[in-house]
Amino acid sequence: MEKKRIYLSSPTMHGEEQAFVQEAFDTNWVAPLGPNVNAFEKEMAAYTGCGHAAALSAGTAAIHMALRLLGVKQGDVVFVSDLTFSASCNPIVYENGTPVFIDAEPDTWNMSPEALKRAYEKYPDPKAVICVHLYGTPAKLDEIMEICEAHGTPLIEDAAESLGSTYKGRHTGTFGKYGIYSFNGNKIITTSGGGMFVSADEEAARKVTFLATQARDPARHYQHSHIGYNYRMSNVTAGIGRGQLLHLDEHKAKKKAIYKRYCEAFADISAIQMNPMNPEGDANNWLSGMAIAADSRVTPDMVMDALEEKLNAECRPIWKPMHMQPVFASCDFFAHNEDGSSVGEDVFARGLCLPSDIKNTDEEMEAIIRTVKELF
């Protein structure tokens, strides 16, 4: 018999989700918009302190809307974290903008303030900076915001992976002019698929809601003075989100416990470094990752193969940096190190994500740890 799959990060449902969805069915609010969407936005705003929110069909759509509000157009440069998922930067290209990739730094694996400063030397007037909080670890926000403010550049926080993480006591996603969250299936909470645009600016959230609902002008007939999008979250999926949000703190606590357990288990193996935390922050530890010392004979592939083959456990390489992707080969990139070597490339070469599913049992965690330790 096939061994039960051990997941990297899969949806964890609790029951309340179904109650909210049932309510949507009972009242026939199955269409987009409706009470669950409004309530989910309010509840997310209350939880994160973001001010105002617009529930959308995906986190990617939320990034796209943020760039639309900033008026990114043909030829505009946008600085974006290099070590991330492609959804962070694809929307720049939707608007014919030019992504310029900013390397990671070793302390948090997030956007390097040093590389960011270097990028400004060549491109003094970018339209926006998109900063990612990788695997839930908050970026060096003070440093990055200081640089952005000095140049008058609006900051968009891609907090898709860091919902529930805080920096100096405040939620990630609420520092930039605009922030975005994702409720994709593998994220810390999910709506099966969905995202949210957030901002302290009520007018911005209102504009996003307008654009995401096909930009219908207030009129009895269908009248349009803007190009719109069909990006709104449905009232059914918002119900799932409301139920999930009730359990976000619990998910975070379990994710943190997984990370802590890996840290303690591998503390005596000097070749293993767990993904770094920001001492100024409190991470949601969405995914636990590790990097293996360059001089070890163990490679990330060996660890992933062993876990897959022995335990049927799902692992994943670190995100492949955007400047290494064929589709972005012509884009400019600024490295963290003065000699031009890239921190992101190094982390990608030496790193991997470990199974971080909050439903993994004690025995499964033991088996994962034993299997990794046997290799070293």
Ligand X SMILES: *Cc1c(COP(=O)(O)O)cnc(C)c1O
List residues near ligand X by CB under 6 A: 58-60, 84-85, 87-88, 132, 158, 160-161, 182, 184, 195
187 is catalytic: yes
Give the rounded distance of the alpha carbon of 31 from its chain centre.
27
Of 5, 4, 11, residue with least CA distance to 251: 11
Shortest Å distance, C-beta 297 to ligand X: 32
194: left (phi over 0), alpha (psi -120 to 50) or beta: left
Shortest Å distance, C-beta 322 to ligand X: 11
Shortest Å distance, C-beta 375 to ligand X: 28
Q: Which is nearer to ligand X, 166 or 365 (CB)?
A: 166
Q: Which is nearer to ligand X, 87 or 115 (CB)?
A: 87
Q: Report d(CA 119, CA 98) in Å as an integer.
A: 13
Output phi, psi for 61, to 5 deg: -60, -35
Report which secondary-structure segment, H or E, holds 314: none
Q: Report d(CA 144, CA 102) in Å as an integer.
A: 12
Shortest Å distance, C-beta 77 to ligand X: 20
Shortest Å distance, C-beta 183 to ligand X: 6
Q: Which is nearer to ligand X, 172 or 273 (CB)?
A: 172
Of 158, 160, 162, 164, residue with least CA distance to 176: 158
Determine the residue with CB nearest ligand X: 59
Q: Report d(CA 232, CA 101) in Å as an integer.
A: 29
Instruction: Pull the structure tokens for residue 144.
Output: 């990055």
Of 353, 360, 267, residue with least CA distance to 303: 353
Q: Which is nearer to ligand X, 36 or 60 (CB)?
A: 60
Q: Which is nearer to ligand X, 77 or 160 (CB)?
A: 160
Sequence-separated (6 or more) residues with CB below 8 Å from residue 371: 306, 307, 310, 311, 313
Q: Report d(CA 22, CA 16) in Å as an integer.
A: 10
Shortest Å distance, C-beta 80 to ligand X: 10
Edge-first strand order for the sheet with 166-167 is 170-171, 166-167, 281-282
Could you say which of 127, 187, 207, 254 is catalytic?
Answer: 187
Question: Do residues 244 and 55 touch, judged by C-beta distance below 8 A?
Answer: no
User: Do the strands 333-334 and 170-171 form a parallel or antiparallel pair, or are they unpaired?
Assistant: unpaired
Catalytic residues: 187
